[in-house]
Structure formats: C-alpha cells, structure tokens
Amino acid sequence: MQENKYKGKRIAAIDFGNKRVGIAICDELHITVTPSMTLLYDKPDFWDKLVNFIQINKIAALIVGMPYYSEGNIINITNEIRHFISELKSRTTLDVIEFDESFSTKKAIETMIINGKRKKFRSKKENKDMFAAAIILKDFINEFYNNIRSLI
C-alpha cells in the first residue's frame, strides 16, 4: 500500500505567470483549499515573500501548474515555468511537483461566479490567479487521493 507522505501537512499550489504568481493552500487534512495571495513576479522582493509564505504556513510540497494543450503538447510558457521551478528548488527543500493546469483560469472564473463573487472582483487578474491556483491544488488533491485509493 502506498503511504501518503503529505498526511497532516499543508500543500500549496502556484499558478505561474510572467507578471503575477497566484498562490493557494490547503489545510493539513487536505479538505479545504483557500486562495491565499498573488505576488508580483518581477518585484525584487518576490523570492523573499514567497519563501517567507512557505515557512510561515509550514508548506510541505508545492504544486506548480503546467499548461498543456488538450492533445498533451506543452505550450510556450513552459520554459519560463521550468526556470521558475529550478529557482524554487534552489531556494527551498520542498517537493516541487508539476501538475496539469489546463483550463484552471476558466474553472476559476466559473467557481467565482458560483460563489457569488461580483464581476468587479472576478475581473481583477490577481483574483483570477489566486483562484486558478486553488483549482490546480483541488485537482491535484483529488487525483492524488484517487491514485492512493486505487492502490489499496
């Protein structure tokens, strides 16, 4: 039986963009996923803020969204994301996991509508980025636990 090495530990997800990075976290039981914040990637204090966030929230793993076409082909931003992941690994000791983020922004907008968020809130890019990160994390958790259950 496969052991859940993240049991009782928080996981975070990142929706990477050249301008902004959306972040979401889950609770220790992996039940509640919360859009947390958006950081500006081009700011000098970006890495300090991200590492501080990871430490304060006691994050055990980071899921980084990787966009694919529906045929499974990687799209243009992939090189930037891989560079970001490499930098992230050099600054932390966390597990960094790539996960398909296809349609996460579309799902994020749908989720905001379902949750009654006003159009003004939904139109802000930083909110879309945070909610997209939450969708990535939710999808990862669902797939992770489905894979564990299938091995039992």
- Mean of pLDDT values over 64-81: 74
Q: Which residue has the higher pLDDT, 123 or 37?
A: 37
- For the structural domain made of 10-151, what CATH number should be given? 3.30.420.140
Helical residues (DSSP H) of 3-103, grouped into ranges? 46-56, 78-91
Distance CA 71, CA 28 (A): 34
Distance CA 143, CA 95 (A): 17
Nearest CA to 14 among 121, 141, 130, 150? Answer: 130
- pTM value is 0.82
Average predicted confidence (pLDDT) for the chain:
84
Whether residue 105 contacts residue 128, with contact meaning beta carbons closer than 8 Å, is answered with: yes
